[in-house]
């Protein structure tokens, strides 16, 4: 959020009650949509350089007893570099401009912090705890507790609470999280110099073990740290269980162990006047499916350009009204997808019986049933490409003609991304004739995309954007494949690449169109 606002010229104070960054593994994978946003910010390359080896496969194993025995399931997933080549060879809009990147949160946070130093208008202050705030018609006054216990005031136009599951901002607003709790887990972080290269069944990203403790191991970005999860009753059980799951002697250090609760929850509101929620303060999405941090990242992208527009003077009040209208339904959708992924994982794990390792017909029958279920159901944990890229904003005051495409919004369709060129959706990615993504050409502001050269009324549209102080870029796809993806209509994009309006021709008077998509018109027309 701070970087997105900072690069748009907004003065930002980011306060963090911690004294610095920790080593606790949390988020591990930036999905394709998140990496597209990082690409547009110009920081994709350093994130990839700091993350997991881009030639390493992301395979997933389900093992019996340990990671030495032949796996029950082996799902192969391509490396970043293999996906990049595949994506660049795909011309039908069905792939992103960037593939995913595995990078641990404890690696990503310091990297983003160092990047923030490029911006004189972004100040990051550790040892500052938000304890309360009041808001009025012109801004928000926050009370911050400093490291020495004293309290100081800070004044801002707006406050965004990116302060996690136990959010002070949410509590002070009186908003509540609604939802459910699932498993109580324990997590440990182990350091092993050579574990990954010694695993006999192969190198991958996730190693799940069919047992009665829901054990699984995740390879972190440097390939020497491993997070380990299980449903055991005490911290002391984690190290011996890790040794059993590894299945061969290994030197290791246990760096952390602690408990955590799986929760699927959504805040009843995302905004009160000048104060907003984003990320885990607004929604709790369990790691199953990999949607938690990525959902929060998309919150920040959506809200940041709108806040910047309002603060620069050309964005109207409907821009900020649209934030909750757009992002809260997506929070609910992603929670539902994570719930479905968790259900799929439980379905095969619940088939475990002590006899599963027996050589006779009983053991064979249990294994066969588990394999059949896991082959289908475990893919919900790793194959949510349609959920990641295929969401649509609807019922938003800054969209013209958005309809709820229930088939694409159905969680059960989440495996496959089908490019959709409709209002509210992300513009499908295509490639220009010089090899660039069309996203690289579009830029960071509004864009009119279409194959028509200088359509009637373009000069009036550009003039209207200039009049209010906003920017419009005109982009012509220059390959037959891209034209086939986008069709014959003109497509007006918002700064976040979502389609705000589309039609065969520009309206004769573009003032209403511009007023709606920039939040300066309170009652948008259903069509224009």
For the cut 80, the answer to whether the pLDDT of residue 26 exceeds it is no
Q: Any idea which of 140-144, 403-407, 431-435, 499-503 has the lowest mean pLDDT?
A: 403-407
In a domain, 526, yes or no: no
Per-residue pLDDT tens over the stretch 37-57: 999 999 999 999 999 999 999
CATH code of the domain covering residue 512: 3.40.30.120
C-alpha distances (whole Å) from 415 to each of 349, 388, 406 are 21, 9, 15
SS3 362: helix
Per-residue pLDDT tens over the stretch 341-387: 999 999 999 999 999 999 999 999 999 999 999 999 999 888 999 99
**Bridge partners of 191?**
225, 253
| Residue 87 shares a structural domain with residue 229 | yes
| Residue 394 shares a structural domain with residue 329 | no
For residue 447 the two structure tokens come to 């864009």
How buried is residue 320: exposed, middle or buried, by Cβ count under 10 Å (0-12/13-18/19+)?
buried
Domain count, the chain: 2
* pLDDT at position 402: 81
| Residue 268 shares a structural domain with residue 123 | yes
Q: Residue 381, Cβ neighbours under 10 Å: how many? A: 22
Per-residue pLDDT tens over the stretch 221-275: 999 999 999 999 999 999 999 999 999 999 999 999 999 899 999 999 999 999 9
| Residue 316 shares a structural domain with residue 420 | no
Q: How far apart are CA 122 and CA 111, in angstroms?
A: 15
Note whether 142 and 160 are within 8 A (CB).
no
* pLDDT at position 411: 67
Q: Which residues, including other chains, have CB under 8 Å from residue 321's CB and lie 6 or more apart?
A: 397, 519
Domain span at 297:
2-344
In a domain, 417, yes or no: yes
* pLDDT at position 80: 97
For the cut 70, the answer to whether the pLDDT of residue 410 exceeds it is no
Q: How far apart are CA 467 and CA 511, in angstroms?
A: 10
Find tokens 């949607």 and name the residue: 291
In a domain, 43, yes or no: yes
Of the candidates 356, 353, 348, which has an alpha carbon nearest to the alpha carbon of residue 372?
A: 348
Q: How far apart are CA 297 and CA 165, in angstroms?
A: 15
Q: How far apart are CA 339 and CA 344, in angstroms?
A: 9
CATH code of the domain covering residue 64: 3.50.50.60
Per-residue pLDDT tens over the stretch 58-108: 999 999 999 999 999 999 999 999 999 999 999 999 999 999 999 999 999
Of the candidates 446, 448, 470, which has an alpha carbon nearest to the alpha carbon of residue 457?
A: 448
Rg (CA), the chain: 24
In a domain, 359, yes or no: no
In a domain, 379, yes or no: no
């Amino acid at each position: 959020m701070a970087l997105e606002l900072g690069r748009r010229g907004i003065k930002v104070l980011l306060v963090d009650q911690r004294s610095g960054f920790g080593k606790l593994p949390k988020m591990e994978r930036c999905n394709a949509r998140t990496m597209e946003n990082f690409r547009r910010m110009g920081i994709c390359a350093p994130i990839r350089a700091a993350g997991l080896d881009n030639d390493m496969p992301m395979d997933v194993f389900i093992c019996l007893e340990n990671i030495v025995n032949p796996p029950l399931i082996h799902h192969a997933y391509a490396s970043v570099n293999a996906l990049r080549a595949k994506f660049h060879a795909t011309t039908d809009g069905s792939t992103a401009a960037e593939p995913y990147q595995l990078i641990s949160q404890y690696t990503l946070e310091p990297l983003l912090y160092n990047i923030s130093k490029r911006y004189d208008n972004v100040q990051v202050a550790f040892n500052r705890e938000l304890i309360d705030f009041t808001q009025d018609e012109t801004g928000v006054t926050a009370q911050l507790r400093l490291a020495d216990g004293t309290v100081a005031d800070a004044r801002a136009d707006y406050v965004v609470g990116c302060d996690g599951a136990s959010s002070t901002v949410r509590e002070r607003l009186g908003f509540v999280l609604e939802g459910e709790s699932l498993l109580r887990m324990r997590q440990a972080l182990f350091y092993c110099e050579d574990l990954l290269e010694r695993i006999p069944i192969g190198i991958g990203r996730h190693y799940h073990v069919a047992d009665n403790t829901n054990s699984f191991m995740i390879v972190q970005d440097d390939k020497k740290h491993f997070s380990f999860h299980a449903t055991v009753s005490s911290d002391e059980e984690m190290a011996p269980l890790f040794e059993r799951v590894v299945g061969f002697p290994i030197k290791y250090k246990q760096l952390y162990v602690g408990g955590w609760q799986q929760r699927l929850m959504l805040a009843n509101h995302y905004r009160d006047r000048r104060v907003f929620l984003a990320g885990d303060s607004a929604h709790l999405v369990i790691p199953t499916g990999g949607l938690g941090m990525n959902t929060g990242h998309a919150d920040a992208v959506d809200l940041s350009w709108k806040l910047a527009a309002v603060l620069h003077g050309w964005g109207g009040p409907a821009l900020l009204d649209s934030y909750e209208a757009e992002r809260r339904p997506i929070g609910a959708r992603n929670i539902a997808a994570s719930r479905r992924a968790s259900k799929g994982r439980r379905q095969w794990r619940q088939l475990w019986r002590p006899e599963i390792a027996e050589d006779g017909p009983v053991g064979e029958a249990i294994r066969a049933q588990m394999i059949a279920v896991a082959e289908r159901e475990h893919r919900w944990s790793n194959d949510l490409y349609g959920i990641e890229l295929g969401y649509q904003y609807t019922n938003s005051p800054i969209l013209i003609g958005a309809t709820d495409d229930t088939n694409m919004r159905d969680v059960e369709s989440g495996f496959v991304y089908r490019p959709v060129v409709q209002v509210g959706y992300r513009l499908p990615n295509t490639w220009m004739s010089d090899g660039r993504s069309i996203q690289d050409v579009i830029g960071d502001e509004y864009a009119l995309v279409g194959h028509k050269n200088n359509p009637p009324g373009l000069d009036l549209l550009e003039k209207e954007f200039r009049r209010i102080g906003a920017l419009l870029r005109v982009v012509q796809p220059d390959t037959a494949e891209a034209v086939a993806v986008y069709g014959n209509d003109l497509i007006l994009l918002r700064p976040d690449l979502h389609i705000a309006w589309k039609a065969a021709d520009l309206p004769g008077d573009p003032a209403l169109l511009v007023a709606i998509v920039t939040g300066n018109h309170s009652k948008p027309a259903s069509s224009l």
